[in-house]
Amino acid sequence: MSSLSRSPWLIHYDASSCNGCDIEVLACLSPLYDVERFGIINTGNPKHADVLVITGGINEQNREVVRNIYDQMPSPKVVVAVGICACTGGVFRECYNVVGGIDRVIPVDVYVPGCAARPESIIDGIVRALSILEEKKAEMEKQGGKGRAGSPVGGGQ
Amino acid sequence: MHMGNALLFILLAPIVGGLVAGIDRKITARMQGRVGPPLLQPFYDVGKLFEKEQILVTPSQNFYITSYLVFIVVSGGLFFAGGDILLVIFAFTLAHIFLVLGAYSSYSPYSFIGAERELIQIIAYEPMIILSAVGMYMVTRSFYVADIMAAEFPLIYYLPGIFIGFLMVLTIKLRKSPFDLSTSHHAHQEIVKGVTTEFSGPMFGLVELAHWYENVFLLGFIYLFFAWNPLIAIGALAIVYFAEIVIDNTFSRVTWQLTLKSSWIIAGFMGLANLGILYYLSAVVPL
């Protein structure tokens, strides 16, 4: 186990969720579940994050935002879709403005179903994502090269 | 000058700094009723950052952040080698100017606000650090750390006001609440991550590393006040750091105005009053 999977910093984004799953995600940070035991930190900054924890089924307004957050995260990175809306669109799937699932916009590595997803299953999903993170790192090393030419966001002087 | 000590600082400070950060996080977690991360968590974090992809917002970031680390190491190295404390303070300030420039080098509003706040923090703590050096000079008649270390009487007897003022700015320097304005060592959202917002992967790892060096240097500065007895000095370091953790966990963040005002008022009252009394005493009874 490298230090990568011992220190997963996550960013949490609400892609038009009803807030049910978001409250459960935040419950994971409370003293009862204390995910910092696993070195997990909830950062607000995609540039510091390794895991994108995302809830809701994405609508036309935040499709670009999700894409942007994903692009700003340095590799290796994993995406955990939390809740049934994030997995498939859930009960909102048929709505005219709902894209219906995170994997329609960005690649998803772990699906955590539930309405709302329980904190235990969210933690389980993130811990499973860590082994995928290790695999991605091994793949990245095989391809060689750590740098990314240019950045999708921000400017330079 | 003891170059061996400087070398020891360069090699050991990251280990000590990382362990102190680990103990800090563990104690903080216990204070909040949590189990907390493993003791070696800060090392995993920095190790991970060096394994990540390097995304450069602008190439000049590399230069500024590397300079930040280099000048922190230079100031700490000079300090532990027993060099001139004024030169140490100048190198230390220059290092932070590089950090500010690094934050300014990207077009990010969060980074900009962080840079502005970092400048305000430098303005807030700088007078007190210089007053500390002046106070130590008045007592030991030397600006050299080696001579201050060799003093056979406790500096704290003569400089209690300066010491309290220094503790005040120490909270700013350790990036702890209530003065963690420009960036915080805790996980936070957007604005509070400030200066570090645009650094990722290995570049952010260097910032963390520099912060460890910085913390060890600051602990060394406190050591000077108690240098006549190493055992008491180490005890004092432990008490001071624990007090900082308690303060970090009990106070909410204040505005930059209050930070600037309070640190200058404390520097003015405690620091200058201490110097004045010392000056008067030295005229009456030579030290």
DSSP for B135-194 reads HHHHHHS--BHHHHHT-SS-HHHH-HHHHHHHHHHHHHHTT-TTS--S--SS---HHHHG
Q: In 3-state terms, chain B is what percent helix, strand and coil (to 5)?
A: 75, 0, 25
Sign for the CA dihedral angle at A38, A39, A45, A49 comes to: negative
pLDDT at B210: 94
Once rounded to an integer, what is the mean pLDDT over residues B82-109?
92
pLDDT digits (tens, 9 = 90+) for A37-68: 888 888 888 888 999 999 999 999 999 999 99
**Spatial separation of the C-alpha atoms in residues B181 and B213, rounded to whole Å:** 20
Residues 71-130 of B with CB under 8 A from A: 105-108
In sequence order, what are the residues at sequence separation of 6 or more whose Cβ sits closer than 8 angstroms to the Cβ of residue A22? A12, A14, A55
As a whole number of angstroms, the distance between CA B63 and CA B38 comes to 33
In a domain, A148, yes or no: no
φ/ψ of residue B82, rounded to 5: 85, 25
Among B40, B51, B106, pick the best mutation site for testing chain A contact (most A Cβ within 10 A).
Answer: B51
CATH number of the domain bearing residue A30: 3.40.50.12280
Contacts 24+ apart (CB under 8 A), A60-65: A60/A97, A60/A99, A61/A16, A61/A97, A62/A15, A62/A16, A63/A99, A63/A105, A65/A13, A65/A15
Across B113-123, average pLDDT: 91
Tell me which residue range forms the domain holding A131: 3-143
| Residue B198 in contact with partner chain A when CB distance is under 8 A | yes
In terms of CA atoms, which chain B residue is nearest residue A44?
A: B189
CB nearest A45 (choices: B25, B51, B197): B197
Residue B111, CB-side half-sphere exposure with 13 Å CA sphere: 21
Confidence of residue A151 (pLDDT cuts 50, 70, 90): very low
User: Backbone dihedral region of B106: left (phi > 0), alpha (psi from -120 to 50 degrees) or beta?
Assistant: beta
Residue A43 lies in a domain: yes
Q: Contacts of residue A156 in chain B, CB cutoff 8 Å?
A: 57-60, 105-106
How high is the pLDDT of residue B187? 63
pLDDT confidence bin for A149, thresholds 50/70/90? very low
Q: How far is B23 from chain A (nearest CA, A)?
A: 14
φ, ψ at B58 (rounded to 5°) = -150, 140
Measure CB to CB from residue A44 to each of B54, B188, B204 and give the nearest one: B188
Q: What is the mean pLDDT of chain A?
A: 86
Are B52 and A154 inside 8 Å of each other by CB? no
Distance of alpha carbon B206 from alpha carbon B199, whole angstroms: 10
Q: For chain A, what is the domain count?
A: 1
Cβ within 8 Å, pair A7-B47 = yes
Strand partners, A110: A80
pLDDT of residue A132: 92
Does the pLDDT at position B7 exceed 60? Answer: yes
The beta-carbon contacts of B218-222 under 8 Å, at least 24 apart in sequence, are B218/B170, B218/B173, B218/B174, B219/B20, B220/B76, B220/B79, B220/B80, B221/B79, B221/B132, B221/B166, B222/B166, B222/B170
Contact of B219 with B237, CB cutoff 8 Å: yes
- CA B17 to chain centroid: 11
Q: Closest CB to B57: pick one of A43, A50, A154.
A: A154
Tens digits of per-residue pLDDT, B145-194? 999 988 888 888 889 999 999 998 899 988 888 888 877 777 666 676 78
Q: Is B61 on the interface with A (CB under 8 A)?
A: no
The interface predicted TM-score (ipTM) is 0.86
Average pLDDT, rounded, for chain B: 89
User: Residue A86 and residue A58: Cα distance in Å, rounded?
Assistant: 8
3-class DSSP assignment, residue B254: coil
On the CB side of A33, CA atoms within 13 Å amount to 17
Q: Is residue A30 part of a domain?
A: yes
Q: Mind telling me how many Å the CA of A154 is from chain B's nearest CA?
A: 6
CB B73 within 8 A of CB A29: no
Quickly state the pLDDT bin for B196 (edges 50, 70, 90).
confident
Q: Which residues of A touch B35 (CB under 8 A)?
A: 34, 37
In 3-state terms, what secondary structure has residue A126? Answer: helix
Separation in Å, CA of B185 to nearest CA in chain A: 11
Binned at pLDDT 50, 70 and 90, residue B42 comes out as very high
The stretch B14-25 carries a mean pLDDT of 94
Q: CB neighbours (10 Å) of residue B138?
A: 18
Q: Across the interface, do A156 and B59 touch by the CB < 8 Å criterion?
A: yes
pTM of the prediction? Answer: 0.90
